[in-house]
């Protein structure tokens, strides 16, 4: 059966594949509802192309379970501790939701919210896999690759009842434990991050928490929020311990692996000695963190501090900045003044500053009352970057630099150039800016760009790094993280073509604009490339290896590829026992760090 039909065994084990943007509101009073909110260069030389099809693995039959067909949502399975009034309330609210869903299904869904588009093919979910050892390895795993590569993704547990966006799915972590020093030893496991949301929906046997992007549009979105609050008031569910999905970023900090989406606190996940994964729980840094945290915190490679943002979509202050010492001690929040709540998925750090994008994609919940999406492109708003000292105690000294018509979903690095009073930012500039969230006719473009912010004159300059004749969509990737916040020469970025699939990755010389591509091969697609240095003390920035999950749509099999970053030659591939959906962001944790987990 072709991959496009790939599904899972039943509605309670339904499980898919970038980015997670949810509502971290504390009040919906602005919408008129008295409910508490859910936490809801130089000219380019011709590109060198390397093909990843050298180590093709044997074919294996793909088994695709069928998806149950339902005309209405299944009733909530009443827990044994519900009383008669709660059971009656659940039955009534289920009936209201059935009527709402029936009405919604009469209207066509936009592609950005249509589950038949958003979670089709290898974006479709998979069930959990317990650890499998002694995986087949082709080639030789470099000795320095000794640890575990983990990658996050959105993998819905239940069949969507109505609209569903790729970012809405429950978080699932895929882990490949590798011992390059022990005869190519490798194991694999994938597990859900046991968020409060997932635990409750699993117990009820159906989705009951609103999906912030796929469902919260227009009047039906408001109705879904009202149903959600009504269930909470009746004690049928509990949103007091978070509503997030933890499906986007992963960071290893202060001896803990943290799974994140910016709609909640992080979740701590432990990597067991066997290679399996275990959710410890929602992590608040010892009761220090009371706000949500952005999915892309940054760790300074020298100070080992972690820097983060938190944003709110309703209540001021809309944005806060804070940091943690290497031992996990949190600084006081710094409130960043914003006129409107900005959608902010990423930011950057330099040696001395944090770089905060305040762009034109914003949250306007009032648009739901008008029947629209709460995530919109505001053409009247100016894009700008805020430059703030890492050690700032307040935002009084923040420097704002306008950068017209600039929207970067991700920022790959930034550094200071004191001789010109500039901060240089490297990011992928997207147009149309809101096309990830709202359907549009224009094709999405993601242009790798250098943005220069002059701290003295307040002026900005932006240029594409790659020559226009060689332009390709580049999204998801990184620089050598041992040089984060410092001037770097190379970036390793996913070739996001045909969008939203990834046909390979590019090694880009940020100084010359030269591009070398590693292409996975015919109908083979992957995800974010992750750079692992061979030796932290090496004098070559690109001395290391690229790790990437790759899926063959002809055989419906997946593998982990290990590519030499110096030569872009495939060193090894690890055959995986089950399909790995296209996902979001990951990290590599050394064996030494694993031994010291909290």
Q: Which amino acids are annotated as binding site for Fe cation, given as ranges?
A: 296, 345, 410, 585
16: exposed, middle or buried (Cβ count in 10 Å: 0-12, 13-18, 19+): buried
The neighbour count for residue 592, using CB atoms within 10 Å, is: 9
Cα–Cα distance between 579 and 157 in angstroms, integer?
Answer: 16
User: Cβ(143)–Cβ(181) under 8 Å?
Assistant: yes
The neighbour count for residue 461, using CB atoms within 10 Å, is: 12
The annotation places the binding site at: 296, 345, 410, 585
The neighbour count for residue 590, using CB atoms within 10 Å, is: 15
User: Cβ(399)–Cβ(455) under 8 Å?
Assistant: yes
Cα–Cα distance between 355 and 385 in angstroms, integer?
Answer: 7
Q: Which residues of 483-516 are buried (b: 16+ CB within 10 A; e: fewer)?
A: bbbbbbebbbbbbbbeebbbbbbbbbbbeebbbb
Cα–Cα distance between 370 and 391 in angstroms, integer?
Answer: 42
The neighbour count for residue 391, using CB atoms within 10 Å, is: 11
Cα–Cα distance between 350 and 368 in angstroms, integer?
Answer: 38
Encoding tokens for residue 541? 């920035």
Q: Which residues of 20-37 are buried (b: 16+ CB within 10 A; e: fewer)?
A: bbbbbbbebeebeeebbb
Q: Is 123 helix (H, G, I), strand (E, B) or coil?
A: helix
The neighbour count for residue 435, using CB atoms within 10 Å, is: 20
SS (H, E, C) 393-433: CCCCCCEEEECCCCCEEEEEEEEEEHHHCEEEEEEEEEECC
């Amino acid at each position: 059966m072709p991959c496009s039909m790939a599904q899972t065994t039943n509605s309670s084990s339904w499980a898919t594949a970038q980015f997670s943007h949810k509502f971290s509101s504390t009040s919906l009073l602005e919408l008129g509802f008295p409910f508490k909110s859910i936490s809801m260069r130089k000219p380019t030389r011709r590109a060198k192309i390397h093909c990843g099809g050298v180590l093709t693995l044997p074919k294996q039959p793909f088994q695709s379970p069928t998806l149950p067909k339902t005309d209405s949502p299944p009733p909530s399975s009443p827990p044994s501790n519900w009383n008669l009034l709660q059971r009656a309330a659940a039955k009534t609210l289920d009936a209201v939701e059935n009527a709402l869903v029936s009405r919604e299904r009469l209207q066509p869904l936009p592609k950005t919210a249509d589950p038949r588009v958003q979670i089709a093919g290898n974006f479709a979910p998979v069930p959990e896999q317990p650890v499998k050892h002694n995986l087949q390895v082709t080639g030789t795993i470099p000795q320095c690759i000794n640890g575990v590569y983990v990658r996050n993704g959105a993998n819905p547990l239940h069949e969507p009842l109505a609209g569903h966006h790729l970012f809405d799915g429950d978080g699932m972590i895929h882990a490949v434990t590798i011992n390059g020093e022990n005869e190519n030893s490798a194991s694999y496991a994938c597990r859900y991050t046991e968020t409060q949301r997932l635990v409750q929906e699993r117990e009820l046997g159906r989705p009951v928490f609103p999906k912030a992007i796929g469902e919260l549009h227009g009047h039906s979105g408001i109705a879904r929020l009202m149903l959600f609050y009504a269930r909470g008031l009746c004690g049928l569910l509990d949103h007091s311990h978070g509503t997030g999905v933890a499906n986007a970023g992963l960071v290893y900090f202060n001896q803990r692996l943290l799974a994140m989406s910016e709609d909640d606190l992080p979740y701590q996940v432990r990597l067991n000695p066997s290679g399996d994964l275990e959710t410890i729980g929602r992590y608040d840094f010892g009761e220090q963190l009371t706000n949500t945290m952005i999915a892309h915190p940054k760790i300074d490679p020298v100070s080992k501090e972690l820097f983060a943002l938190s944003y709110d979509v309703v209540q001021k202050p809309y944005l806060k900045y804070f940091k943690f010492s290497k031992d996990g001690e949190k600084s006081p929040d710094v409130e960043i003044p914003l006129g409107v709540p900005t959608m902010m998925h990423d930011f950057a750090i330099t040696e001395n500053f944090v770089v905060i994008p305040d762009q034109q994609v914003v949250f306007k919940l009032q648009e739901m009352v008008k029947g629209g999406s709460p995530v919109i492109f505001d053409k009247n708003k100016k894009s700008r970057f805020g430059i703030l000292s890492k050690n700032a105690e307040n935002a009084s000294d923040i420097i704002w630099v306008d950068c017209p018509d600039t929207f970067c979903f991700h920022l790959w690095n930034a550094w200071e150039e004191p001789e010109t009073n500039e901060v240089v930012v490297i990011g992928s500039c997207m147009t149309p800016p809101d096309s990830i969230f709202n359907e549009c006719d224009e094709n999405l473009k993601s242009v790798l760009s250098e943005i220069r912010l002059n701290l003295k004159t307040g002026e900005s300059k932006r240029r594409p790094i790659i020559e226009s004749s060689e332009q390709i969509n580049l999204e998801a990737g990184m620089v050598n993280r041992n040089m984060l916040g410092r001037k770097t020469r190379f970036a390793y970025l996913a070739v996001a073509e045909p969008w939203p699939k990834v046909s390979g990755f590019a090694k880009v010389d940020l100084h010359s604009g030269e591009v070398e591509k590693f292409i996975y091969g015919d109908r083979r697609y992957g995800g974010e490339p992750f750079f692992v240095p061979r030796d932290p003390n090496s004098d070559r920035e690109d001395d290391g290896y690229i790790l990437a999950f790759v899926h063959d749509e002809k055989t419906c099999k997946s593998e982990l590829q290990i590519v030499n970053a110096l030569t872009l030659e495939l060193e090894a591939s690890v055959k995986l026992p089950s399909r790995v959906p296209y996902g979001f962001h990951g990290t590599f944790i050394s064996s030494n760090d694993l031994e010291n987990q909290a």
